[in-house]
Amino acid sequence: MARPTTKTDLIEAANSGYEALMAFIDSMTAQELETPFDFSADTKKKEAHWQRDKNLRDVLVHLYEWHQLTLDWVPSNQRGEEKPLLPKPYNWKTYGQLNVFFWKKHQNTTLEEAKEMLAQSHQEIMQLAERFTNEELFSKGVFDWVGNSPLGSYFVSNTSSHYAWALKKLKAHRKNCKAGG
């Protein structure tokens, strides 16, 4: 599916991406859930997240925390509080460190808690997206605090694109489990 450029496409892609991710998770075997992620044998998987996330919980809390950033950023700026998406001291050059912070923060979160947190935050982010018109979401320059991108691009990045990223990781993990088992 192409990257959404309308509100209708955003809502549809986010919901179908979430549903596909949850369906895949529901299909995971006990072996897949219990086996730690290990992508070290694949030299193409160089990005930090391939080493960072060790299990399904880590992936789910990552999605949840990025929802939280958006759920804080948008309403704060709508109230007139100037706030960047990424909390200080992080920026787009150091957001990898923010992801590690999120990972560390949730090492005592259970898988069940992570699933519940993500289900709730998905619902909240969809409700937030619904409040905006198509023009507010996908026209540039509508909100000063968004910068040069349309607001909708942040929703796409933190929903459907992020869900596709998570699904790709889980499918790679499944492939590793089959190869090793």
CATH number of the domain that 55 lies in?
1.20.120.450
Q: What is this structure's pTM?
A: 0.96
Quick count: other Cβ atoms within 10 Å of Cβ 49? 18
Does residue 87 fall inside a structural domain? yes
Q: Is the pLDDT of residue 181 over 80?
A: no
**pLDDT (tens digit per residue) in 70-109:** 999 999 999 999 999 999 999 999 999 999 999 999 999 9
Per the structure, the count of domains in the chain is: 1
5 Cβ contact partners less than 8 Å away, ≥ 6 residues apart? 138, 152
Q: 179: pLDDT confidence band, cut at 50, 70 and 90?
A: confident
In-domain check, residue 53? yes
Query: Residue 37 falls within a domain, yes or no?
Result: no
Residue 26 lies in a domain: no
* Average pLDDT value for the chain: 95
Q: State yes or no: pLDDT of 8 exceeds 90.
A: yes
